[in-house]
Chain A
Amino acid sequence: MVEGGIEWVAAVNLVIWTGLFVYLLRLGNKIAELEKKQ
C-alpha cells in the first residue's frame, strides 16, 4: 500500500461513521417529534 495510505483509509472510515452517526441521531429526533405530534 502507498505510504500513509492506511491513515487515509482510517480517516475516510471515521468520516463515514461520524456522518452516519449524526444522520441517525437527527433521524431519531425527527421521529420522536413526529410521534409526539401523532
Chain B
Amino acid sequence: MKRLLAWLLWLWMCAVLYGAFHYAPLAKGFIGESSRILFFHVPMAWVSFTGFIAAAVWSARYLWGGRQERHDRAAAVAIELGMIYGVLATVTGAIWAKIMWGAYWNWDPRQTSILISLLFYGAYLALRGAVEDRDTRGRLSAAYALIGLVVTPFLFWIMPRIMFTLHPEPVVNVQGKVEIESRMWQVLMASAVGFTALFFWTHNLACRLQALSERRAALRK
C-alpha cells in the first residue's frame, strides 16, 4: 500500500512538472520563462511554513501529552525539514530575483523575513545541540518551538504584507482574493499538494531512522 502511494506521488509530481513547464501559461510582466519558478518556490515556502507549524503542534503534544519521545523527535525533524525547504525557497527566490531585479539578494521584506525565520529555527537546533539531558532538552526545545506559533505566521504572512515590497503580490492577496490565471492556479495547487505529501513522507522516514539510531545507541550503552 505504501509502495503504491509512493508511486502515485511520483506520477503526481511528474504531472506537476509537465504542468509547470508546458501546461501553465507564462505570467504577464515577468522576464522570459522566470514565472515558472513560482510552481516550485511557493510550494517550498508553504511546506517550510507547514513544517514549522507542525513542529509547534508536536511540541505541544510533547509538553501536554505525557512527554513522549516520539513527539519531541517529530518536532525536531519537522523543523529540520522546514529549514531545508526554507533554504530551497530562498535559493529559488534569489534566482528569480536575479532575473527580475538584477541581484540575488536585495533585503526585500520577503527575503529578510524568511532569513529571520531560518535564523530563528537555526537557534532551535543550536539549543537542542547544547543540552545533553534528554528531558530538559525536550522541554526547552518544545517551549521554543511553541514561540514559533507566533513568530512564523508573523514572518511568513503579516510582515511581507504590511511593508513595502518589490515581491509579486502573494497568491492570496491583501484583500484575501486569489487573482491568478486558472491553469497556473491548478498547477500551483497540485504542486503544493505534492510537496506537502513529500514532506510527510520524508518526515516519516527521518523519524523512523532517528528512532532506530537512538535504539542502537541505547543498546551499545
A-side interface residues toward B, CB under 8 Å?
1, 5-7, 9-10, 13-14, 17-18, 21, 24-25, 27-28, 31, 34-35, 38
Number of CB contacts from chain A to chain B under 8 A: 46
The docked-state distance in angstroms from the alpha carbon of A7 to that of B202 is 28
Interface size on B, residues (CB 8 A): 22
Extra pairs beyond A6-B21, A24-B201, A27-B209 (9, CB < 8 Å) = A10-B17, A10-B18, A13-B17, A17-B14, A17-B17, A24-B202, A25-B6, A31-B212, A35-B208
Give, as a whole number of angstroms, the nearest-CB distance from A31 to chain B. 5
Contact check, A10 vs B6: say whether CB atoms are below 8 A apart.
Answer: no
Contact A38 B36, CB 8 Å, known A10-B21, A24-B205: no
Contact check, B10 vs A18: say whether CB atoms are below 8 A apart.
Answer: yes
Q: Residue A1 contacts which of B10, B33, B205 (CB distance < 8 angstroms)?
A: B33
Contact check, A6 vs B33: say whether CB atoms are below 8 A apart.
Answer: yes
